Structure formats: structure tokens, C-alpha cells
Structure 1
Amino acid sequence: MALVDYTSSSSDEDNPKNSTASKDQVIGGKRKHDTKEFENLPPLPSKFHDLYASTTRASTRDDPSLHSGRKRGTPHIEGNWPTHLYIEWCPPTTEHIVVSDFLAKLIEATATQNDFAICSFLSSDLGAPLPLHISLSRPIGLVTADKENFVELLERVIRTCGIRPFDVTISGVDWVSNFDNTRWFLVLRLLKPPHDGLNKLLHLCNDAVGIFGQPPLYARKLPQDTPSPKRLRRPDGKSTSSSKAPTIASDWTGLGDPSSAFHISIAWALKAPSQETKDITSDLFQKHNSQLSQIHVPINEIKAKVGNVVTNLTLRAGGGEGTSLFGI
């Protein structure tokens, strides 16, 4: 028995125009909306998605069958809190449509390739748009005693770093694998923004995770004539919570330039893409380049997710920005 029995609307039956319009709006079991009516809606606050930053745990062990064949890249260690630093991007309706159209055409063009399935990051199973990310750290793990100090350090650094909000744009598309080559990701590459904002944020995040004994992201060996960055390490044998509060170097010495590594993942696959798939991807990007290159991704804050708790670290809009940490 249905929970509620709805009777047919007499007004719809009496007005054939209403009935026809209703039928025209429902195509393939999904209601067709005029996207223009949503374009002027204000964006959701950045903290909205933080309320749903975690899902219900379905198993106490790593079970790929529960996650579409995906395997945990970082093994779970009892007592450690999974941590990730990132920039979140929730594409507006028009930009979501542009990226979705590109991905849909790619999925269609590669549908005949054996055992290669592309899974989208753009929407949920129910069709709701999902936030996308620019990573500023690896998936790392913090012990309980370090959680609060780590977030407090980041809050202090971002508050005083002098990096103002900025935008980034899309420069290309590529297929990249994770560290273990167990998944491949379709990513949008990003152009280096003015004042090198992404590299500076990465530098701060790498210093912060390094103080807590965690590996950096996109680290590479610098040329011999390049001075090493000034970094403070947490004292051996002590928890940061019991030692003097650490600080971050106040300049960009030895910053390096991993600009080509920054990206936004829009889809994933369990198997490596063939050369044919890569060629199709490149050709489709060229056809959509005029639209994709017009997309601007605003960088106003970074997010620190420790366990199930997400902290928003807002970039200050005031003050100048130069070559040093404090904009001098």
C-alpha cells in the first residue's frame, strides 16, 4: 500500500495545456528543468557541503566491493585521524553544464572500449551536483594529541600569510594515476595564477604537515644552487601538543614551481586509459576549449578535514601581496 494516495488534479484534467506541459517536462523518468531559472540563484554557503563530508561506514575493513572496486590508498591505522587539506569548488550551474557536457561526450566516445568504465565526480547517484577539489596535501594521518594544534597552526598561518583571494583557470585535461596505480583520474589542469597563489598555499601546507611528521605533496628535489626552504620540525620523541607552538618560515625561499601538478579531478577509472582514450580525450578538449578556458575557479579559502570535522580557513581580502609571506 502506498504511503499516500494522491488523487488526480481536476484542474489538470480540465486544462489540456497543463497536462501537455507536464508531460513535456518529464523525459525518461526525469523532470526537465529550464536551467535559466536556476542561474540567478545565490550559491550555497561553503560550509553547506561540510555537513555531508563523510558517509556512513559500511565495514570495519577495506572492502572494494562496497566502493565500486576502489581500494583504500592510505591504510587505516587505529588511533590516527585521516586528514586532507584542499580547496573546494562548487561549479555554478552554467559551468557545471559545460564540464558535464564535455564528460558526457567522452563517456559516449569511449563506451565501446572493453573493460574501461569512466565514473563521474560531478554528480551524485541522484543527479545532485557535487563539490570538486584542488588538493593541497596527500591523505595523511594525525594522532589525537596533534589534531587541535595542527588546525590552530593552519589557522594562524592562513590568517597572517598575506595571500589574497584569487582565481585560477583551466589550461588542459589529462589522465593521471594515484600513487599506487590502482586508480586513474581524469583531471582539469590549471594555469599558474598571478602572484603564484597556489604554490604559496602549497608551500604553507607542506610546511605545516612536515612539522607534524607527515609527507609533503608535490615535493621534488630542487636544483643544487637553490636554497632549501626554512622548515621547523617537531621535536623528536615529543607530541607537538606538549612542545612550544611551532611557526612557519616567513618567506618563499626555495618555493619551487609544481604548477603543472595542480588539478581538479572530474572522473575516475579502475584501469589505465589506452592511448586511443587519451587521444579522444585530447581531441574533445580542443573542441570544448573555448568554453572550458572561460571557467574561473575562485580561491577564497582552504579546507582542513580532520576525521569528520571540516575547518574553513579564509584568505583575507585586505592588504597587499608580494613575494614574502607577509606581502612585503
Structure 2
Amino acid sequence: MKRASRALVAYSGSEDEASADAPEGKKKKLPSLASSFIVPVPVDDPALHQGRVRITPHIEGQYATYVYIPLVVHPGTALYSLLDEVLNVTKEMVPAVHAIGETISCSRNSSGSVVNSSRRVRELHFSLTRPIFLRAHQREEFKQAIKLIASRRTPFQASFATFSEFTNDERTRTFLALEVGAGHNELRDLLSALSPTLQFLRQRDFYSQPRFHVSIAWALLDPDTSMNGDVDTKRHPHTYEGVTAVEDTSDNNLTGDIGKSNKQLQAKCFPRVPHFPSQLIPTLNQRFGARVSSAHIGGFDADTIVAKIGKDTFSWPFQGSHVN
């Protein structure tokens, strides 16, 4: 060990001597790194995300993570038809609104090849965590914790109760949502089970008075009103409930600094609203409330818990469920 130490010191000294012998003003330049060693920094382009902007700066080796209960609504079901009607009315009242969770349904033909279907399923979710951020070495431990929670839970039935408006913590988007009625206590028990893991990882718990919901549509908020205290918020005392937008993790890792000129361009290309019209939620509840709160239409089974870590999604069925 001593011999190796002397070799290191001698090597360092020889480099110093070489530098001292070099003409004054001339320094050796290190060779540039090959392009394969350079990790590109993500560039924020809201045009690729329907005008949405980054909220949290990108950090290499950090993974945006969410835990939620999934709800897949298939074409042909009563709930799917109801959501279509609701979204049509909403788009008439708020042209800038965007539907959430629409994905192309795939199937196999007679030869076994996968083909796309023109009909779309809606993949919705009930958030059980805020956006949290894991380091690479924490991912496996977190997955094992969620898997253990799933193994100790049994499937339960839940249903919707009402339409509501929510705004994300950063007040950059407003969401149209369906709130849970039956099943609230079971979802709250899941929060209690998740809490020790979040605290161990020094992550924030979910909201102290959670209002469990699935978001079905969103619109960009005008920062001049949503960030500076729009007077209309008095009319929506619960509007600033946090929303976890799992449908696109790139949106939740975005940074807000996109430049003044770019912001002006985005405002023209992507319309924004100060809030939903005051009559939107009452109109939806009056026209569709009875149907959405009926067990036949708004009822569903909660039998799986999902963790989305970065771009990877992991799911675990509850004990006794028949989910494949």
C-alpha cells in the first residue's frame, strides 16, 4: 500500500513539473469528451404537451413517482357513454378543455397480429400520493413496499357521488373531476398504509382531508388570475385541492421558466381560462348527477394498486382479486 501511495505522489509531481516547464501563458488542454458520454439535457417545449410547462426542474437520476388506483372505462359501458355526454357539454361551455385518459384499444386478429381499434378506452385513476421523487436506489424498495400493501388489502366496491372542480398545487391547470362517495374509507385506509413508507423516504404525505376523485378533463389556467388570487376563488372554496396528473409524467417534471416571448406564443396557441364557468359544475350535477351516482353506472371495483416510477408502470392486485 505504501509503494502504491508513493507512485501516486510521484505521478502527480511529474505532472506539476511538466506544467512548470511549459512556456508561461500556455496550458495543456484536456481532450473533449466523446458525444456518447454527454447526456442531453431535456428541453422544455410546451408545444409538445398541449401548452403545459414543467413545474419541477429535471434532475438526472431522479424519478417522478405516483401511486394510484386505476379505473379503465371500456367503450360500450354505461359509464363510458355518460362520460362522452359530459365531455360534450363541457366542451361547449369551455372550448379550451382537454379530455383525460383516452387511449387506443388494441386487439388481435385471426392471425394473431395486434391491430388498433378505432374505439378508445379511458384510463382514469384515483391518486393516493402527491408527485414524489425517488432516487435510483430507492425504486426497488418502494416497489416492494407497495406490493406488500397490496397483499394485505382485499378488493372493495366504490362509486361516484358528484362532479367537482380541482386545481393543481401550482395553479397552472384546472380539472373537471368525479368525486368518490362509497369507497372513501377504504381509500383513506390505503393512505394510512402508505404513510410510513413516504415518511421513511422523506416524501410528503397525501392531503390531510383528501377528496378522492378521478379527473376527466383539464384546461390551462391564466397565470394572471390563477396565480395572483382571482376574486372568483371565493366562489370556489375547495378549488385549490392538489391534483396528481399521472396521465403524463413529463408534465409533472416540467420547469416553469419558458421565457417571456415563448409564454406569449403559448398563450396564443393554447387558450387559457381564469377558471371554469360558475355554471359548469351545477349544470353537470343537475343533468348527470343522478346517473353518475347510481351504482349501475357510477359503481366500480377497486382491486389493483399501481406505481408509476419514471416511465415504468408497475401494478399489483389486491389479495383475492381476479386481476391478471
TM category (shorter chain) comes to 0.5 to 0.7
Distance 1:276-1:78 versus aligned 2 partners, 3 A rule: closer
Q: For 1:287-298, what aligned pairs fall within 5 Å after superposition?
A: 287-294=287-294, 295-298=298-301
Q: For 1:5-24, what aligned pairs fall within 5 Å after superposition?
A: none
Following superposition, the deviation at residue 177 of structure 1 comes to 0.8
CA contact (8 A) 1:167 1:298 kept: yes
- TM-score of the pair, normalised by structure 1: 0.60
> Paired residue for 2:73, among 91, 94, 108?
91
What is the CA–CA distance in structure 1 between the aligned matches of 2:167 and 2:90, rounded to whole Å?
18
CA contact (8 A) 2:72 2:122 kept: yes
**Structural RMSD (CA):** 2.4
CA offsets 1:13-65 (integer angstroms, 9 cap, x no match): xxxxxxxxxxxxxxxxxxxxxxxxxxxxxxxxxxxxxxxxxxxxx98122212
What is the CA–CA distance in structure 2 between the aligned matches of 1:157 and 1:121, rounded to whole Å?
28
CA contact (8 A) 2:130 2:204 kept: yes
CA offsets 1:174-227 (integer angstroms, 9 cap, x no match): 111111101111111111427x21001112223222211111111x3xxxxxxx
Partner SS state of residue 313, structure 1: strand
- TM-score of the pair, normalised by structure 2: 0.61
Distance 1:121-1:275 versus aligned 2 partners, 3 A rule: closer
Higher strand share: 2
Percent identity reads 28
Query: Which 5+ residue runs of structure 1 have no aligned equivalent?
Result: 1-57, 112-116, 221-257, 319-328
Partner SS state of residue 278, structure 1: coil
Alignment of 1:139 with 2:131, yes or no, is: yes
What is the CA–CA distance in structure 2 between the aligned matches of 1:72 and 1:217, rounded to whole Å?
21
Q: 1:104 matched to which residue of 2?
A: 88
Q: Aligned residues, how many? A: 214
Tell me which stretches of 4 or more aligned residues in structure 1 moved more than 3 Å: 124-127, 272-276
Following superposition, the deviation at residue 124 of structure 1 comes to 4.7
What is the CA–CA distance in structure 1 between the aligned matches of 2:276 and 2:123, rounded to whole Å?
29
Greater alpha carbon shift after TM alignment, 102-111 vs 296-305: 102-111
What is the CA–CA distance in structure 2 between the aligned matches of 1:109 and 1:127, rounded to whole Å?
25
CA contact (8 A) 1:106 1:281 kept: no
Query: Which 5+ residue runs of structure 2 have no aligned equivalent?
Result: 1-39, 105-117, 227-272
CA contact (8 A) 2:160 2:182 kept: no
Distance 1:77-1:188 versus aligned 2 partners, 3 A rule: same
Distance 1:83-1:275 versus aligned 2 partners, 3 A rule: closer
CA contact (8 A) 1:192 1:198 kept: no
Q: For 1:141-290, what aligned pairs fall within 5 Å after superposition?
A: 141-160=133-152, 163-193=153-183, 196-218=185-207, 220=208, 258-259=209-210, 261-271=211-221, 277-290=277-290
**Which of the two has higher C-alpha Rg?**
2
Partner SS state of residue 80, structure 2: helix
CA contact (8 A) 1:102 1:285 kept: no
Partner SS state of residue 288, structure 1: helix
Following superposition, the deviation at residue 262 of structure 1 comes to 0.7
Q: 2:99 matched to which residue of 1?
A: 120
What is the CA–CA distance in structure 1 between the aligned matches of 2:41 and 2:287, rounded to whole Å?
43
Following superposition, the deviation at residue 296 of structure 1 comes to 1.0
